[in-house]
Amino acid sequence: MISKLLFLLSALAALFYASALLSAEHKDPFSQTKFLPDIRLNLNLSYNQKDISNETSSTLQPSYMLLRSKDEDQSGNSPSGFQFNYLDIKLASSVDPFLDVIAVIGFQQSEASIEEAYFRTRKLPFGVQLKGGLFYSSVSRFNAMHAHAWDFSSRPLIHQSLFGDEGVHEIGLQMSWTLPLPFFLQIGAEILQGSNEASFGDSGIQIDASPVNIKGNQYGNMATAYLKTSWDIGSLTILWGVAAIGGGSRLQEADDVAFSGETWIALAEITFKYMIDSYRYVSLQGEYLYRNMSGTKYFSDSSAWTTQRQSLQNSGFFLQWIVKPLLQWRAGLRYELLQNRDIARFRSLSQADYPQSLSAMLEYLPSKFTRFRMQYQYNESLVAGSRLKPYHEVQLQANFNIGAHSAHSF
């Protein structure tokens, strides 16, 4: 009896102490809990099944990459079976009345990396905002999104072709200006390190016993400029934008092929979104990108090195339709097509001029923090040898969010 009484008194004392502590923190403007950042965790898992074996899948290579990175596959070609796709943790807080700091740390099964870590100004005059650090470029709405906000489970082919698995994801400085107009109009520019290995690259390349001696760039190797605007016509919102990206190219595959030159990319995007009511909508989104590369190709046939002047153009688009007819259900279609002739010629591929892909998805959203997706994809963009090897894939995907989660862009 006495032990029960002591336990009850101890519990009451602990409750009183906790209540007093919370009350004190509520009254104290310098309480440390008020300075804790918002924390969000996102977990993404899936099960994939293809109509080809994992052994065959592992031999496929992307037809749309000019040169494959020395360090990663860059094809988005995951095997069949259960997949731990990623877990990311976002930390966000105001530093003071003038600055925010945001960081996103990504985890995969065997590694961790910093996805984003940047500051952003809050109160510069005339609608100007500065952002600096490691971030996803704002050249397009899709590029600025994290993977958990995508409408489909894979990056569009044209983005993979021009920017690789990470998109335009660089260290640098961004300045944007939102004009004081009755409609949204924003102009922006970025100076970036330009380490992207799909189109640019800032590291020097030297290959022993060869004419390859390409100097690196220790300054900003990449620049972007963009314009975005939107109009409302009743329940219909139209968002569109254009962007230009340019910089030096220093690309290498193994020790027998390299490329040095200049790259320019033009981008146009448009989104139509019709709100049926507060939660039901229909949207149509598309992007078109064009790349021009001019420079020198270095290659060896094991007996001698050859240099060739090259002018390479490739382009492509994706178009996706999304409908949300009910509060907890969404469905969508996406078609992608590339014009790949110059890359196919550069890499001696005999039948890879027009890689394409078609995807369909159905989502169930039991809450704002959970999403279950079933996706079908017909993919005709990877090659076995020199020819395209099409395959079909079905994916079941689950995405979970916990913690403070800011709203996604419109």
Indicate whether 5 pLDDT > 60. Answer: no
**Beta carbons within 10 angstroms of residue 397's beta carbon:** 20
Residue-by-residue DSSP string for 315-344: EEEEEEEEEEEETTEEEEEEEEEEE-HHHH
Indicate whether 74 pLDDT > 70. Answer: no
Specify the pLDDT at position 377. Answer: 97
For residue 19, is it within any domain?
no
For residue 103, is it within any domain?
yes
Residue 405 or 305, more confident: 305
Handedness of CA 172, 196, 70, 318 (dihedral sign): positive
Strands 128-136 and 111-121: antiparallel
For residue 4, is it within any domain?
no
Indicate whether 286 pLDDT > 50. Answer: yes
Strands 81-96 and 61-62: unpaired
Specify the pLDDT at position 345. Answer: 85
Mean pLDDT score across all residues of the chain: 87
Residue 176 or 214, more confident: 176
For residue 410, is it within any domain?
no
Number of domains in the chain: 1
For residue 48, is it within any domain?
yes
Rounded mean pLDDT, 14-25 = 49
Task: Give the pLDDT confidence of 336-388 residue by residue, as tens digits.
Answer: 999 988 888 888 887 788 999 999 999 999 998 999 999 999 999 999 888 89
Contact status, residue 57 vs residue 80, Cβ threshold 8 Å? yes
Indicate whether 403 pLDDT > 70. Answer: yes
Specify the pLDDT at position 210. Answer: 79
For residue 233, is it within any domain?
yes
Specify the pLDDT at position 66. Answer: 85
For residue 71, is it within any domain?
yes
Domain of residue 152, residue span: 36-403
CATH number where 151 lies? 2.40.160.10
For residue 291, is it within any domain?
yes
**Beta carbons within 10 angstroms of residue 108's beta carbon:** 12
